[in-house]
Structure 1
Amino acid sequence: MADAISPDIWIAACAHALQLRWRTVNPRELEEMATELWRDARLRALPPRAAAEAWLGPVMELPS
């Protein structure tokens, strides 16, 4: 699925998904982070929102 969209669209969608979790972070920084995620072949193979969630997983987990 991710191969069907252009890198620019994937990055924009991923940055938007990151912004839903990190509302106080500068959107430009989120776009830069999404670009880094796109460079990871494992994450790039996922839809943008799933890639953002996979990357955020360890950050969003609450300590036991």
Structure 2
Amino acid sequence: MSDTVERRAHRGEHRELPDGPQRQAIELKTDRRAAGPYAVLTAEERLTMLADLAALPG
């Protein structure tokens, strides 16, 4: 992923990437970074968090 794309993401600028190597790299990086926090949650906490996320607008 390019530094430009990462800077845009940090500033809150979003655009949908088509399927391909760049999107795959971003998805894998996101999964790796999220694994730690998810691992410490109980099953009930994960379900609560998912329900809260699903309730967000947009």
TM-score normalised over the length of structure 1: 0.30
Bigger relative contact order (CA 8 A; separation at least 6) = 1
> Which structure is higher in helix share?
1
**Structure with bigger gyration radius:** 2
